[in-house]
C-alpha cells in the first residue's frame, strides 16, 4: 500500500474511489479487513454489464472449494495454481474481451420475418464464435482447479486433459450445475463449421449427433455461459486477493490480466486510460522493461506529468522487478513517451517514501507533446476544476438520493408508441428497499413516483423526431422486479420469482388488458397493482386486495 496519499488517489477520482470501495465492502464483506486494499476492479461485478449478472452459485462453489483446499491440501492447490498459471491468464484475458462486446444487454424479440432472419444472423456472427471462445479459453481453464484436483486425488494423469474430460470430472460430483453451460455437440458443430439454418432454427452437428436450437435458446445458453464464467472468474480473483500471504509464500504468480485490470481501475481517470502492458527489453543494453500503452486527451503538461508519475508508481507496485518502465502516449497531439528507473521506483516503495518531491529522481527520459501547452496556467486550472466538478456533483447527488429515498428505482426497459392522440408506455423497472419497511408497502406508497420515473426515462430514450415523445401518456404498464436481469429476460420475464407485480395506469376507454396469471389485484388511487403470488419476497395484506367482484 502506498503511503503517499497524493499518488494513492487522484483528486479527480478520490470521491468515486471511496464510493466504489464502500459498495464493494457492502457486496463482498470478507474483503473489508484485508491488508491488501487494491480491489477496485471488483466494482465491475456491481456496476457493469454483463459482469454484475455473474452466477452466484458458481462463485460460491468455487470459493468454498478453494478455501477448503487451502486448509486441507495446500500443496496440491499450489501445484495446480502454478502449473496452470498461463491457462488462467488466457481465461481472464479472453473473458475480458467477451465481456467488452456490445451484445450482452439488447432486446432480441423478432416482430417480423426479416427480424427473425436478422436474429439468426446475429447468432451466427456473434453468439456462436463467442460461445466457442468462452468454452475453449475461459470455461475450460476456470474449472481446472476442481477438475485437476479430482484427477490428482485419484492419481490419474493430467495429460490430454481437454475441455470434455474436465467437464466430465465436474458432472459426477457436487458441481454438475457448472457444466450446464457446456454442450458438447454445439461446441463441436461450431468448431468444425457444421451449423445449419433450417426453418428459423440452428442445427449443430458433429460426427454422430445433432442438436437443434432456436435463436432464443442459443442466446440463453450463451448468457448462462457468460454468467457462469464470470462467477468462476470472480471466485478465483477474490482468492488471489484474499490469500496474498499464501500466494506469495508458495511462489504463485497472479495472472497478468488480473494485475492489468486492477492497474486500470486504480489509474484510469477522466481523460487518462491505460490500454495495456507488454514485457520487453531495451534495444542496446537489454534491460528488462515494461511498456505501458496510454490513451489520453489531457493538454495540461503538469497534469500529464502527474498522471505519468502516478501510473509509473502503481505499475512498479503491480509489476515489480523491471529495470525500466516505458510509457507510450497516444492523443490528438504528436505521439509522446516517457521512461522511469525501475530500481528508483522500487527503492521508494520499499522505504515508504511519502513526499512527492522525493520522486523527482525516478524520471529517466521524456518527450511530451501537448497541443495547447502555450495556454496560460489559469486555463488549465479552470479545466481541472470543471472536470472535478463533473465527477463530484453527480456522485454526491446520487449518494444523497440513496440516503434519503426509501425506494431506489432503476428503469431498465421502456417501449413507447403513439395511438391516435396519446402515447402508450410499457416499461420494466428494478426496485430496491432502502429502509426497513416491507418492499410491497414501499411500492404501494410510491406508485406515482415509479410511474413518473418510467415516463421521464421513456421520453429521454425516445428519438427527437418520435411524435409519441411529445404526447400525453394515457396508458402505462410497468413490470416491477426485485432483481436486475438482461433486457431480453426482462422483456420475456413471464412469472419469474423476481417479478413482484405489474403497475397499470389506464386513462383510456379502449385498451383492455389481461392481468398476470394467478395475480392478486389491488387498487391504489388511479393505479392498479397486480401482485405476483410466486414472488420470493412478497408479503401481501389480503385485507387491502382489490376484489373485482
Asked if pLDDT for residue 245 goes beyond 70, the answer is no
pLDDT level of residue 324 (50, 70, 90 thresholds): very high
Q: Tell me which range, 21-25, 153-157, 271-275, is most confidently predicted by mean pLDDT.
A: 271-275
Asked if pLDDT for residue 111 goes beyond 60, the answer is no
Cβ burial, residue 42 (10 Å; 0-12/13-18/19+):
buried
| Least reliable range by pLDDT among 62-66, 316-320, 434-438 | 434-438
Mean pLDDT of 237-264: 83
Which pLDDT score is estimated for 404? Answer: 87
Asked if pLDDT for residue 542 goes beyond 50, the answer is no
- The rounded mean pLDDT for the chain is 87
Mean pLDDT of 203-224: 91
Asked if pLDDT for residue 200 goes beyond 90, the answer is no
Which pLDDT score is estimated for 4? Answer: 53
Q: Tell me which range, 307-311, 464-468, 495-499, is most confidently predicted by mean pLDDT.
A: 307-311
Reduce the DSSP state of residue 197 to 3 states and report it: strand
Cell triple for 280 = 520487453
Mean pLDDT of 138-158: 89
Asked if pLDDT for residue 306 goes beyond 70, the answer is yes
Reduce the DSSP state of residue 383 to 3 states and report it: helix
pTM of the model: 0.88
Cβ neighbours of residue 323 under 8 Å, at least 6 residues apart?
Answer: 287, 288, 289, 341, 342, 343
Q: How far apart are CA 451 and CA 476, in angstroms?
A: 8
- Are 329 and 292 in contact by the 8 Å Cβ rule? The answer is no
* Strand order through the sheet with 288-296: 272-281, 288-296, 324-330, 336-341, 363-367
Q: Report CA dihedral (372, 374, 378, 380) to the nearest 10 degrees.
A: 20
Cell triple for 471 = 404526447
419-455 residues labelled b (16+ CB within 10 A) or e (exposed): eeeebbbbbbbbbebeeeeebbbbbbebbeebbebbb
Asked if pLDDT for residue 137 goes beyond 60, the answer is yes
Q: Which of 470, 478, 466 is nearest to 413 (CA)?
A: 478
Which pLDDT score is estimated for 116? Answer: 80
CA 469 to each of CA 359, 457, 487: distance values in angstroms, whole numbers, following the listed order: 56, 11, 21
Cell triple for 154 = 485419484
For the chain, the residue count is 549
Residue 300 β-bridge partners = none
Which residue ranges form the domains of the chain, and what is each CATH number?
1-37+268-395 (no CATH), 53-255 (no CATH), 405-544 (3.10.310)
Asked if pLDDT for residue 140 goes beyond 70, the answer is yes
Long-range contacts of 461-465 (CB under 8 A, 24+ apart): 461/414, 462/416
- Taking the chain, what is the end-to-end CA distance rounded to the nearest angstrom? 68
Q: How far apart are CA 63 and CA 235, in angstroms?
A: 5
Q: How far apart are CA 67 and CA 215, in angstroms?
A: 39
Cell triple for 161 = 486433459
Cβ neighbours of residue 360 under 8 Å, at least 6 residues apart?
Answer: none
Q: How far apart are CA 130 and CA 222, in angstroms?
A: 8
Predicted confidence (pLDDT) per residue in 419-475, tens digit: 888 999 999 999 998 888 888 899 999 999 999 999 999 999 998 888 888 899 999
Amino acid at each position: 500500500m502506498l503511503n503517499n496519499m497524493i499518488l494513492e488517489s487522484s483528486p479527480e477520482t478520490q470521491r468515486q474511489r471511496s464510493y466504489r470501495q464502500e459498495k464493494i465492502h457492502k457486496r463482498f464483506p470478507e474483503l473489508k479487513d484485508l491488508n491488501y486494499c487494491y480491489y477496485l476492479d471488483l466494482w465491475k461485478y456491481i456496476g457493469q454489464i454483463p459482469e454484475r449478472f455473474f452466477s452466484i452459485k458458481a462463485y460460491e462453489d468455487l470459493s468454498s472449494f478453494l478455501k477448503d483446499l487451502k486448509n486441507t491440501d495446500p500443496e496440491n492447490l499450489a501445484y495446480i495454481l502454478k502449473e496452470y498459471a498461463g491457462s488462467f491468464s488466457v481465461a481472464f484475458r479472453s473473458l475480458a474481451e467477451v465481456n467488452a462486446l456490445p451484445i450482452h444487454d439488447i432486446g432480441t424479440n423478432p416482430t417480423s420475418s426479416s427480424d427473425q432472419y436478422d436474429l439468426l444472423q446475429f447468432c451466427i456472427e456473434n453468439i456462436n464464435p463467442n460461445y466457442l471462445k468462452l468454452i475453449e479459453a475461459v470455461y475450460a481453464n476456470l474449472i481446472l482447479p476442481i477438475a485437476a484436483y479430482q484427477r490428482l486425488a485419484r492419481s490419474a494423469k493430467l495429460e490430454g486433459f481437454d475441455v470434455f474430460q474436465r467437464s466430465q470430472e465436474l458432472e459426477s460430483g457436487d458441481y454438475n450445475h457448472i457444466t450446464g453451460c457446456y454442450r458438447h455437440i454445439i461446441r463441436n458443430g461450431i468448431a468444425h463449421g457444421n451449423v445449419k439454418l433450417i426453418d428459423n432454427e440452428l442445427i449443430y452437428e458433429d460426427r454422430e449427433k445433432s442438436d437443434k436450437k432456436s435463436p432464443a435458446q442459443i442466446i440463453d445458453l450463451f448468457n448462462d455461459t457468460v454468467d457462469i464464467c464470470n462467477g468462476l472468474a470472480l471466485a478465483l480473483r477474490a482468492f488471489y486477493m484474499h490469500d496474498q500471504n499464501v500466494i506469495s509464500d508458495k511462489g504463485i504468480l497472479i495472472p497478468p490480466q488480473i494485475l492489468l485490470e486492477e492497474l486500470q481501475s486504480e489509474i484510469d481517470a477522466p481523460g487518462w486510460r491505460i490500454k495495456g502492458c507488454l514485457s520487453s527489453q531495451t534495444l542496446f543494453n537489454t534491460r528488462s522493461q515494461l511498456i505501458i500503452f496510454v490513451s489520453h486527451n489531457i493538454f495540461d503538461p503538469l497534469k500529464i506529468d502527474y498522471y505519468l508519475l502516478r501510473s509509473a508508481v502503481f505499475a512498479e507496485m503491480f509489476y515489480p522487478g523491471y529495470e525500466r518502465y516505458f510509457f507510450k502516449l497516444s492523443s490528438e497531439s504528436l505521439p509522446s513517451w516517457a521512461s522511469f528507473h525501475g530500481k528508483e521506483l522500487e527503492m521508494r516503495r520499499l522505504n515508504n517514501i511519502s513526499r512527492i518531491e522525493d520522486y523527482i529522481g525516478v524520471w529517466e527520459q521524456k518527450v511530451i507533446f501537448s497541443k495547447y501547452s502555450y495556454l496560460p496556467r489559469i486555463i488549465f486550472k479552470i479545466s481541472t476544476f470543471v472536470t472535478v466538478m463533473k465527477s463530484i456533483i453527480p456522485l454526491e447527488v446520487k449518494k444523497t438520493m440513496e440516503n434519503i429515498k426509501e425506494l431506489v428505482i432503476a428503469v431498465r426497459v421502456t417501449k413507447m408508441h403513439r395511438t391516435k392522440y396519446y402515447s402508450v408506455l410499457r416499461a420494466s423497472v428494478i426496485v430496491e428497499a432502502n429502509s426497513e419497511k416491507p418492499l410491497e408497502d414501499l411500492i404501494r406508497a410510491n406508485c406515482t413516483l415509479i410511474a413518473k420515473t418510467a415516463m421521464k426515462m421513456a421520453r429521454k430514450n425516445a428519438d427527437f423526431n418520435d411524435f409519441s415523445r411529445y404526447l400525453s401518456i394515457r396508458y402505462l404498464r410497468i413490470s416491477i422486479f426485485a432483481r436486475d436481469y438482461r433486457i431480453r429476460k426482462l422483456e420475456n420475464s413471464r412469472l419469474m420469482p423476481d417479478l413482484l407485480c405489474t403497475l397499470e395506469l389506464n386513462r383510456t376507454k379502449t385498451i383492455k388488458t389481461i392481468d398476470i396469471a394467478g395475480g392478486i389485484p389491488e387498487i391504489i388511487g388511479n393505479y392498479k397493482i397486480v401482485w405476483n403470488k410466486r414472488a420470493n419476497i412478497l408479503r401481501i395484506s389480503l385485507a387491502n386486495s382489490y376484489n373485482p367482484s
